[in-house]
Structure 1
Amino acid sequence: MPTTIIPATESSGFFPWFRDFLKKELSPFPGRATTVARMVLAATITMLIIMTFRIPGGALGAMYAFFVSRDNMRATLTSGLAIAVSYIAGATFILTGASLFADQQFAQFLWFSASMFVVFFALSTFADYAVATGFAAIVVNAMLLWQRQDFAHVQVDATLWQLLAVAIGTSVTVAIEIVFHAFHKKDELTEGIDGRLHLVQQLLESYRRQAAVPDEIQRKLEQYTIVGVGALRRGLARSNYERLYHDQTAAVISLSGRLVDLSAASIRVPHQAQEEDKVLLENLENQIAQIRTDLQAKQAPRMVPAPPGTPSGFPLLAEIQRTILLIPEVFSGAKSIDRYIPSIKDEPRSSQFFVRDAFSNPLHIRYAVQGCLAATLCYFTYFVLDWRGLGTSVVTCVFTALSNAGTSRQKQVLRITGAIAGGVLFGIGSQVFILPNIDSITAFSLLFAAVTGVAAWFATSSQRLSYFGVQIANAFYLVNLQEFSIQTSLVIARDRVLGILLGLIAMWLVFDGLGTARATDQMAEAFINSLMSIARLTIRLEQGNQQTIVQDLRALREEINSHFQMVNSQSDAILFEFGIRRKQGMAMRALVRSWQPSLRVLVMMEAALIQHRLLGSEHIFSQNVRGAWGRFDDACAQRFLGMANHLEGKDVSEAEPLSISLKSMERALLTEHGVSDDRSIGLGIVDLAHEVATLVDELFSTIVNTRIPSFSHVRRVANRAASKS
């Protein structure tokens, strides 16, 4: 019978929840103090160079200590190079535009609006987000310089000085990371996964010994639950792994996050270990130890034979066991892939500068028009009022505008609170109480490092709070690092904070007023689309040009990954949704986050089966095998379409049971003459197909027996929002 999911409520009230939220977000975790120290050191050294040589644009230069990736050495160098490309492109764009439009007042207005359109279009369509962000930052800040009435050579000098400040900040940060990684050679991506698995291993050991779970383990599990795996995903995105290993690692990251969530939840559920549970717990400890060893060695994790029976004393142990055993399954068929289709496995990273649908998807144009309208509204307001100090409103528009209102609202809240903390509390507060009492660069450096340390500690929180830390640093630097002497007037700090408020108001009017879909709607839409895309992945492959088939599969795989990324980003944004539908959104978020890891594993297992089929269509398998195999894949596709239809509120049509087509496929494979010479190939494919069928049936049963009416509602809302564009 269908079950209705009722989301948990926060009955303790806002302030107890907020206190607990801050406690979990700000608690130390492995590597946090080291990362903060590197950020503080990079920003402080940049500040000293800028102040010593009196380089204008110091605030933006110091901010790049927060922008450069620190996930690993390769990521740092790649990020530094991408940022260098971005600010060179931005400066070239500004100087070219200035040579054409800077000498005419009305042309300047058109130039500004057109530049803002280009900036927001770049944020939406550039394939490398670091390049897009760097390009936007340099263009927006330089555009504010060119709105002043001054000689052209003075404005050119100011633009180039700002470019130098950014280059100094990037170079100093990269240099510090090179020195750090020279003495610290660990792969932070692998270490992040290993740390989570080790924590689960320690928890299972406590269960097996029937000992109380140590407070330290509980605290770290809760912390990892709050932090999530967003940092690991960002590190993977910047890595240079081959495509197959990249996708497998993405699935392992998702599963490790799910495992941490389940483990943290299991502590709060009453349980009593039985004797058979102890045997199973010991086996799971050994399985995790084997997975950790193999991942550290960059090998496919091996399966440890499991004892018979199911857990009886732990309500969540069965799900923990299933999640652990899915990790080796992610790598199923990897050895055969080495022999069969290296062209898929070794596919290089996409070298496209723009995303695939940059010039075909009207949503990119919509986003650029909305952002341009908000920024131009701010520019027109402070230009008419002749209040140049409000120029920070334009910067606010650029750094808070995202593709949906939910995430935009999230960054708006964090920006205004961060601006108040950095600009008013630390910025104006230091000007009133501290700076009048110091007279040396050493004392100022200590103050600068202390505020940067606070900002960096917040910036290393999860996505729910990290932007707050970035805004503390940004506001403080704007107040105290733009000039080379202590400010004796509070007018500058006041104007900059008011400019941030103006930008937030403009963004709220434009993005909310134009009816952008909520994060809840977009998350549900992306999840349903991922189910439909996976259904297309499992359809029968017809004979034809193999190269064309491979290219189509690559495109479809990228489409599926983009849906997964959209689900992850929008699920984070739901935390900052407001209104009467937030309760439904949180319930949907919990469900989708529990289903997503299984989908990732299924994609990897289907990819392995597809590669067997691509080889077999020409070398091994007969028409009889291909036909039976195709019927099995069709049945799987019907299951995925059934899940999507159920979530859309449609009737789920009857489909052939997977067991029937699976038995037909098994008989055809194991009796096929071409396979009998190497029976291990057929057995391996059959085992993999059995795993796929089991996982598909479990997910289908879970989703179809879950009744959430709001899924069909958000699907209709998202469709209407998309049709307006």
Structure 2
Amino acid sequence: MVETSFFGTISSLGRKFWEDLQPTPGRLNSSLRIVLASIITLILTQVWQMPSIYIGMYFIFLVGRDSPTISFRTGLISLLTVTLAIAVELGVVILSDNDPMARVLSVAIVTFIAGVLVASTNFPTLGSTWGLIFCTVIGNWEKHAPADRLVKSSLWLIATLAVAIGSAVLVEYLFGDRDPAKKLEAQRKIRYQALEKMFTVYAQGGTPEERSTAAIPVSRLALAGSTGMLELYNKIAERDLDAGTLPPGTRLRVTMIAQIMDVSAAFGLQNTKEDSPELRRRCGTIAEQCRELIPVFIPQVEKRLRFMPENSVTLLDRVEALLHTLLTMPSDSAEMGNKELVAMPVTKAPFFIPGAVGRSDTIAFGLKISLCATVCYIVYNAVDWPGISTAVITVMVTGLSSSGAIKQRLLFRLLGSIVGGLLLGLGAISLVFPHMDSITSLVILIGFVAFIAAWTAAGPRFNYVGLQMAFSFYVVAFEDFSAPTELAPARDRLMGILLALLVMWFVFDQIWPVRTVTVMRRSLAGVLKTIASFLRLIEPGPDRKDLFQQADALRDQVGKTVVALRSMNDAVDYEFGVDRELHVRSSEMILRTSLTAGTLFWNQFAVLYSEEDKDFLTEPDLIEMRRRLAESIDELAVGVVKKTVPVMVPATTLLPPAMLNDPRYGEYSHNTIARFEELQAFALRLSHEV
């Protein structure tokens, strides 16, 4: 069974990878911008003879491309992080008089802190960048070279990265997107139109050929995933732009739409011959809902869907359930008079995730990363094989908090390294470099490789492969300022990667394993606890500014966690074992529960920001209802982690019956209780899953 699931997953990688390479909106533009920035950086660093070119070229792929402003901000922060890492490196060497034991201890401490930063902040790339650069530069002191040369090498690294980041930012300012809100609205409408067309064909009893034809656009949009739409959302949030006609809770809606597209594509491609009056009726209803969702305003069909469809087992059941969840979100931002409900400015997001720093799983993750990096550092120095120093780098760029995600990244790291380092890098060294006699030919080669890597990195599922292709190629191709003439570096770097894979597999999967579903349960519990905290927070008080600040931080965390849960749901496919199918089913249930929880949160959050609904915050019965809901949701959070059967709370105990019929508060009360009952039902089903 283990072998079957393993080889089944491996055999599907080729098909999925090919699907991932298909064109998506904005992909060509983004790839060409990376190529242009890479060429500019290559020419400048070659002319100025700057060392560590491979790191600078790789950082071009890491600079945010959501907008010129984001590119500048992420580039500046990355440069400051690199400067800090080098300052710490020089401080360790000076204070310890370059003592070998101090270097080993510094690797252990810095990588632990980097791991904690990755797991506990809203800016995880800072931790990984800091740890990556520190381990790179501290390793130089193991070489038998003059101290003056090593210090200059570290300082030159800052200059190299400044050139690379500056080139990337310049290109983004010249050719970046200018109106992300309109593009995101267009992408939203395209998806609803494709769904409406496909389900209309089913409702009208179309032939299998007509159904397949209608399902193809849905499948292509499903393959595009949510990455492109989330990038557009990030542009709006980073630049604090006018959100136009986008509805409240756009980030959560993007996740919901992407999930609907996935399930609908599977239904459309697998049920081309099935037909019945009941199927036509249900598909007609779905088509009507999608057609009404195309305009800006959420349709009145929402009021006909108060409860989640029961027994959501088939693909069509899941489509109906996901649409129901989406339709119960708050309607239109213009009705509430606050555009910040659409996309919260990034400046309002806290640096640390509330309560994450001291959690046991955060500390454990930091310790695991530290252990892996330190072991790799000691091994490659103990055997006096500096060529395998890529082992430490591999640890820093592949570390995640669950075994499934670790396996996914390790596999992608290996795949990217084979393609970029062995095939492209080794191929260039042996076949291309000997015949190159000008910088023009080098520019053409680097542009070709950068385009392939950038195109792959823009994919929704295998983007990490593209990053590793670029890094592995640059490591092999840019040893120094002359063309490489030996094949040993490619071999050594691959051995370093294999060493890191072995060490991380042993630490993360054998000594200290954490299954992906376990992490998903903890994340879902975190979402539930955040909702409970918010329900306790929205009580009348004198300081509304402080209330909004705390509410925005909770809102940001709910949105990011739900997006992360969808990513982890994809990573469950890389879990191997006899219970793999159970894990896949549980992960799907956890994701659906999180979407329902997000809907409950947004129905409450919209009331907080509505000037016309201030009395909802002061009504005693509603305050008591939210207090009881908070207590019950906290218990659900505990049950989700411990897999205990939740105590089902009857709706009649939450609110007096008169409030449900109140003309002012009735609809809000009904919607809140309905979402809570759905949440309880999901929690009950989760208690029986692995």
TM-score > 0.5 by shorter chain: yes
Q: Identify which range, 77-86 or 98-107, moves more after superposition.
A: 98-107
Q: Identify which range, 11-20 or 496-505, moves more after superposition.
A: 11-20
Matches within 5 A, 1:32-43: 32-43=27-38
Q: Deviations over 1:180-224 (max 9, x none)?
A: 127887765445434433432443454566555476653443244
1:117–1:372 contact (8 Å) kept in structure 2: yes
Alignment partner of 1:222 out of 219, 222, 240: 219
Matches within 5 A, 1:586-605: 586-605=584-603
Partner residue of 1:363?
361
Cα distance change on mapping 1:217 and 1:427 into 2, 3 Å: farther
1:421–1:472 contact (8 Å) kept in structure 2: yes
Distance 2:630 2:485 in 1: 71
Establish whether residue 331 from structure 1 lines up as the match of residue 330 from structure 2. Answer: yes
Q: Deviations over 1:62-106 (max 9, x none)?
A: 112211122233433332232233223223333333332353344
Q: Identify which range, 390-399 or 403-412, moves more after superposition.
A: 403-412
Partner residue of 2:413?
415
1:635–1:657 contact (8 Å) kept in structure 2: no
- In structure 1, what residue type is equivalent to 2:195? V
Distance 1:637 1:510 in 2: 38
Shift of 1:61: 0.7
Partner residue of 1:692?
672
Shift of 1:695: 3.6
Cα distance change on mapping 1:309 and 1:709 into 2, 3 Å: closer
Distance 2:530 2:540 in 1: 21
Partner residue of 1:379?
377
- In structure 1, what residue type is equivalent to 2:250? T
SS state at 2:294 partner: helix
- In structure 2, what residue type is equivalent to 1:41? L
Partner residue of 2:124?
129
Q: Deviations over 1:349-374 (max 9, x none)?
A: 34644444465334333322322222
Cα distance change on mapping 1:522 and 1:494 into 2, 3 Å: same
Distance 1:659 1:70 in 2: 50
2:420–2:469 contact (8 Å) kept in structure 1: yes
Establish whether residue 396 from structure 1 lines up as the match of residue 394 from structure 2. Answer: yes
Alignment partner of 2:494 out of 481, 484, 497: 497
Alignment partner of 1:171 out of 166, 170, 192: 166
Q: Deviations over 1:587-608 (max 9, x none)?
A: 1122223333222111100223
Distance 1:257 1:42 in 2: 31
TM-score (structure 2 length as normaliser)? 0.84
Matches within 5 A, 1:5-404: 13=8, 17-181=12-176, 189-204=184-199, 206-207=201-202, 211=206, 213=210, 218-233=215-230, 236=233, 239-240=237-238, 241=240, 248-267=249-268, 268-269=270-271, 270-271=274-275, 280=285, 283-284=288-289, 286-290=291-295, 294=296, 301-303=297-299, 320=319, 323-324=322-323, 327=326, 329-332=328-331, 338=337, 349-350=347-348, 352-357=350-355, 359-404=357-402
1:419–1:475 contact (8 Å) kept in structure 2: yes
Partner residue of 2:647?
653
Q: Deviations over 1:217-239 (max 9, x none)?
A: 53443244344324544654562
SS state at 2:689 partner: helix
SS state at 1:710 partner: coil
2:59–2:164 contact (8 Å) kept in structure 1: yes
Cα distance change on mapping 1:351 and 1:324 into 2, 3 Å: closer
1:85–1:131 contact (8 Å) kept in structure 2: no
Q: Identify which range, 360-369 or 604-613, moves more after superposition.
A: 604-613
Cα distance change on mapping 1:321 and 1:369 into 2, 3 Å: closer
Cα distance change on mapping 1:356 and 1:177 into 2, 3 Å: same
Distance 2:647 2:155 in 1: 64
Between the two proteins, what is the percent identity of the paired residues?
A: 21
Distance 1:343 1:459 in 2: 31
- In structure 1, what residue type is equivalent to 2:504? M
Cα distance change on mapping 1:611 and 1:664 into 2, 3 Å: farther
Cα distance change on mapping 1:629 and 1:384 into 2, 3 Å: closer
Distance 1:342 1:500 in 2: 45
Distance 1:602 1:703 in 2: 14
Q: Deviations over 1:495-553 (max 9, x none)?
A: 11111112222222333343231112111232244345435544697666665766765
1:530–1:560 contact (8 Å) kept in structure 2: yes
Cα distance change on mapping 1:220 and 1:53 into 2, 3 Å: farther
Q: Identify which range, 31-40 or 183-192, moves more after superposition.
A: 183-192
Distance 2:14 2:444 in 1: 29
Q: Identify which range, 38-47 or 230-239, moves more after superposition.
A: 230-239
Cα distance change on mapping 1:283 and 1:410 into 2, 3 Å: closer
Shift of 1:586: 0.8
1:94–1:139 contact (8 Å) kept in structure 2: yes
Partner residue of 1:678?
none
Shift of 1:246: 9.9
Q: Mark the structure with the bigger radius of gyration.
A: 1
Cα distance change on mapping 1:168 and 1:348 into 2, 3 Å: closer
Cα distance change on mapping 1:225 and 1:595 into 2, 3 Å: farther
Partner residue of 2:439?
441
Distance 2:24 2:343 in 1: 35
Q: Deviations over 1:274-329 (max 9, x none)?
A: 99779756743541331xxx3xxxxxx34256898999xxx877865675575565
Distance 2:24 2:335 in 1: 39
Cα distance change on mapping 1:209 and 1:88 into 2, 3 Å: farther
Establish whether residue 627 from structure 1 lines up as the match of residue 601 from structure 2. Answer: no
Distance 2:391 2:129 in 1: 18
Q: Identify which range, 46-55 or 271-280, moves more after superposition.
A: 271-280
TM-score (structure 1 length as normaliser)? 0.80
Establish whether residue 466 from structure 1 lines up as the match of residue 463 from structure 2. Answer: yes
- In structure 2, what residue type is equivalent to 1:710? E
Cα distance change on mapping 1:551 and 1:319 into 2, 3 Å: same
Cα distance change on mapping 1:434 and 1:131 into 2, 3 Å: same
Q: Identify which range, 657-666 or 518-527, moves more after superposition.
A: 657-666
Cα distance change on mapping 1:114 and 1:642 into 2, 3 Å: closer
Distance 2:87 2:247 in 1: 35
Establish whether residue 709 from structure 1 lines up as the match of residue 688 from structure 2. Answer: yes
Cα distance change on mapping 1:347 and 1:23 into 2, 3 Å: closer
SS state at 1:449 partner: helix
Partner residue of 2:449?
451
- In structure 1, what residue type is equivalent to 2:480? E
CA RMSD of aligned residues (A): 4.1
Q: Deviations over 1:226-260 (max 9, x none)?
A: 44324544654562359999971122112211321
Distance 1:578 1:466 in 2: 22
Distance 1:568 1:487 in 2: 42
Alignment partner of 1:582 out of 563, 580, 583: 580
Distance 1:461 1:344 in 2: 26
Q: Identify which range, 271-280 or 177-186, moves more after superposition.
A: 271-280
Distance 1:371 1:306 in 2: 47
Partner residue of 2:511?
514
Distance 2:180 2:353 in 1: 33
Q: Deviations over 1:157-191 (max 9, x none)?
A: 11122112111111111111111127887765445
SS state at 2:347 partner: coil
Shift of 1:707: 6.9
